[in-house]
Amino acid sequence: MLTQKQHELLCFIDDRLKDSGVSPSFEEMKEALGLKSKSGIHRLISALEERDFIRRLPNRARALEVLKLPEGGLPEVAPSNVISLRPETPVREVISNPAPAANNDVLEIPLHGRIAAGAPIEAMEGQTALSVPAALLGPGEHYALEVSGDSMIDAGILDGDYALIQKTEVARDGEIVVALIHEEEATLKYLRKEGGRLRLDPANAAYEPQLYNPGEVRIQGKMAGLLRRY
């Protein structure tokens, strides 16, 4: 059973998700419940999570999903000085898709290291994470790579930038892809088809295109965005 504040917070989160599809911020929750600090919100969120009323969506800074509500939206109130008259109040399941990421949401995606010769992408998995504005990403699963070198400089991709990559094994002609060559060297290049072969084009006149047979190259993703720190 829920306390009054837990119920108020649960209903507030549910209403906001229904209205906009976006979880309210902790600051908005604090103001809605009239609390003086966000620490109280953290405690309420944890309590609702422990009771399986909500869950935190993975890889998102503050996105929540409501799993269930008290039947009919009525509170299950049980503060310390009140006896609950409905201790066995049933709950109804809320069937919904995860809330879409808002433009001001921040996601955490795997950072697989520098995109350079010597290690396939798989060998770098799980090292660390990078916080990325959700607006830079589209649908699907993503990871980040730190760019090494200047072979894509004319495409605006500089040494030290973070390439945001959508995981995929297929790409269209002309897209910027992460290509794994001979299962050992990863490179970020434009993908072109030339006859029955694949051509990886740099975006720098100082570098030559590279031609490969299809079996020598494996696509591991295509570029979805770019993050640069100053």
Q: Which residues are catalytic?
A: 151, 189
Q: How far apart are CA 227 and CA 52, in angstroms?
A: 36
Q: Please name the residues in contact with 139: beta carbons below 8 A apart, sequence gap of 6 or more.
A: none
**Do you know the residue count of the chain?**
230
**Are residues 169 and 157 in contact, defined by beta-carbon separation less than 8 angstroms?**
no
Contact between 55 and 65 under an 8 Å Cβ cutoff? The reply is yes
- CA dist., res. 69 & res. 219, Å (int): 44
H or E segment at 6? helix 4-20
Alpha carbon 113 to its chain's center: 18
